[in-house]
Structure 1
Amino acid sequence: MSFVIAPLDVIKIRLQLQIHSLSDPLSVRDVNGPVYKGTLGTLKQILREEGVTGLWKGNIPAELMYLAYGSIQFSAYTYMSHILEGVPAPYTPHNSAISFISGATAGAAATAATYPLDLLRTRFAAQGKDRVYTSIIASVKHIAQHEGPKGFFRGLGAGVSQIVPYMGLFFASYESLKPVMADSPIPLPLGSSDAVAGVVASVLSKTAVYPLDTTRKRLQVQGPLRDRYVHRNIPTYTGVISTITRIWKHEGRRGLYRGLTVSLLKAAPASAVTMWTYERAMGIMLALDEKSAGV
């Protein structure tokens, strides 16, 4: 799945890192890097300037990240849900609260554990025709040597600040929407209430926290090689609040939401497949548990 959506990731990252806008002619003056306009425009420009392989830059760390992230996320979600459901009455949290807390905890744990891979994916996707890093091993060595251990976790604050409300809102929305979708009198387009609920929950939660995702990407490409990425005019950012403030001041609301459309195109189907698979897997495991208990 991640291999298929990799081009959307690259397009999203390129748009998020772009500080200039075609609506403001002064912002593109003396810009050495490309000026992207929209999802299709960015796709065409990458193909023209970098070839097909340009759309899969950073795919290897992305594949590793998705594999690790998914297993950690759902393990943590299930574990935390069981703990909260076991709280004795009258202190047992409401179902929506259990979903929110479990989702937020799972997201934070998975994000922190896989963050170095996310950072590598961003840096490789931000490379243009001129390669900044020749390989994953070379990138790890260079970051460790010139930026230290902290270099692998640039923007982690924005990542956790984003993922905690995102996963909390996602799972709370999903659990609320699932029974509604199951009782829908209208035939569902994806053939499953789980998949449709996953799509809607993903769109709502992703849109709500997207500025923090843009902030994370801007912080991830900070470092000694910042001016060698495809956008050679990326400013120096230091913290989450100051980055958001600076983007808002110099680029407006558009700057915080660049790439949102392609992000939703990527996240919605991925969430549909993920939640459909999750529900089926949980159903199989519960059936096996009941069968074992009966024996």
Structure 2
Amino acid sequence: MGSPQGSTLTSDMTGLIDGSTARSDVSFIDCLPVYVKELIAGGAAGAIAKTTIAPLERIKILLQTRTDGFQSLGVYQSLRKVLKHEGFMGFYKGNGASVVRIIPYAALHFMTYEQYRGWMLDNCNFFGSGPLVDLIAGSCSGGTAVLCTYPLDLARTKLAYQVVDTRTKFSSAMTSLYPRPAYSGIRDVLTTVYKEGGMRGLYRGVGPTLAGILPYAGLKFYIYEVIKIRVPEEHQKSIVMNLSCGAIAGLLGQTFTYPLDVVRRQMQVGSLQSSSIQGDTRYRNTYDGLTTIVRNHGWRQLFAGLSINYIKIVPSVAVGFAAYDMMKVWLRIPPRQKSQAASSG
């Protein structure tokens, strides 16, 4: 009895010295498959990052959809108006739906990227092992995550689009601003939209979403890897370097695909917009949305809110990467090169 216990204690202490944790700690975490750890790490990172930049995300949606009273305002003025009319919590309207969506989205995005990349490296040698693999794997993972979580993104947009003056009575405010009752929460949005249009209604705007996310997700990973390859090897594990490369990749990728995001938002809130203010925004498809916006509002409207996207993308990527790295350490996820073999095994 004494010898085995002593042996166990010795091995535990050795593990602690080597940087691992005690046997009692690894009984659950180390038994989890790598892909499950990636799901947990990605979901946590996404939730933390999304909550951090929620006020900027709310303003971006209000600018993108040309909400009444915000068309001619800048970022600072819009922030002040939301604070004045809705208070501090107005900055986080729709954030519940956003976090509920981003947890499975980010989890699926990170995990499926690793899985797609590992599968391609093992089975598609003609793609090589360079950034092209990251471009394709990133695009596929982005599309997968969008298809699985799109109704939640629709709910987030509809909730964030509503502007209610909390200084007045709820009923009078809603009557003056909207021709229909406001949504009370995520469940109300989903059930109402489903009753009105079925599954097709829940996926309204998914076309431009996929058209935007496929190149964006692919470019983000591609640019990140291209930049990282050119960094000296001794600096490639630096957190600052990873955050910088990720921020640059996010900025470039977002710029190229941003007009598609604008069309998506307007398609999502089309039923809420007043025709007297916006005109008919029920676009037939992505191309129709792009051409109609340019014809009615000019090409600059395709980039409405892009400046705030630049402002929020850097802290979003920074917080996301930092949180993901922290979760990977806590969950003891091996480096990506090693995780490919583990994931495919």
SS in 2 for 1:249: helix
Task: Indicate whether 1:135 and 2:181 are aligned.
Answer: no
Relative to the length of structure 2, the TM-score reads: 0.72
Contact (CA 8 Å) 2:158, 2:189: kept in 1 or not?
Answer: no
Cα deviation 1:201-233 (Å, max 9, x = unaligned): 01110011000010110011123x4339xx953
SS in 1 for 2:145: helix
Task: Indicate whether 1:261 and 2:307 are aligned.
Answer: yes
Change over 3 Å in CA distance of 1:96–1:241 after alignment to 2: same
Question: Which structure has the larger Rg over C-alpha atoms?
Answer: 2
Q: Could you tell me how far apart the structure 2 residues matched to 1:88 and 1:33 are?
A: 53
Q: Which runs of 5+ in 1 are unaligned?
A: 20-31
Using the aligned pairs only, state the percent identity: 29
Q: Could you tell me how far apart the structure 1 residues matched to 2:145 and 2:290 are?
A: 24
Task: Indicate whether 1:233 and 2:309 are aligned.
Answer: no
Task: Indicate whether 1:114 and 2:149 are aligned.
Answer: yes
SS in 2 for 1:134: coil
Q: Could you tell me how far apart the structure 1 residues matched to 2:324 and 2:188 are?
A: 36
Q: CA deviation at 1:96?
A: 1.4
Q: CA deviation at 1:137?
A: 2.3
For 1:166, the aligned partner's letter is: Y
* Higher deviation after alignment, 212-221 or 266-275: 266-275
Contact (CA 8 Å) 1:119, 1:220: kept in 2 or not?
Answer: yes
Contact (CA 8 Å) 1:194, 1:279: kept in 2 or not?
Answer: no
2:102 to 45, 50, 66: 66
Q: 2:319 maps to what in 1?
A: 273
Q: Could you tell me how far apart the structure 1 residues matched to 2:142 and 2:185 are?
A: 29
Q: 1:80 maps to what in 2?
A: 116
Contact (CA 8 Å) 1:99, 1:168: kept in 2 or not?
Answer: yes
Q: Could you tell me how far apart the structure 2 residues matched to 1:84 and 1:109 are?
A: 16
Q: Which runs of 5+ in 2 are unaligned?
A: 1-47, 165-173, 175-180
Q: Could you tell me how far apart the structure 2 residues matched to 1:255 and 1:195 are?
A: 30
Cα deviation 1:36-59 (Å, max 9, x = unaligned): 421101111111222222211111
Instruction: Count the aligned residue pairs.
Output: 271
1:160-175 equivalent positions in 2, closer than 5 A: 160-175=210-225
Q: Could you tell me how far apart the structure 2 residues matched to 1:183 and 1:210 are?
A: 33
Moved over 3 A (4+): 32-36, 181-185, 275-284
RMSD: 2.7
Q: 2:206 maps to what in 1?
A: 156
* Higher deviation after alignment, 38-47 or 172-181: 172-181
For 1:133, the aligned partner's letter is: Y
Relative to the length of structure 1, the TM-score reads: 0.83
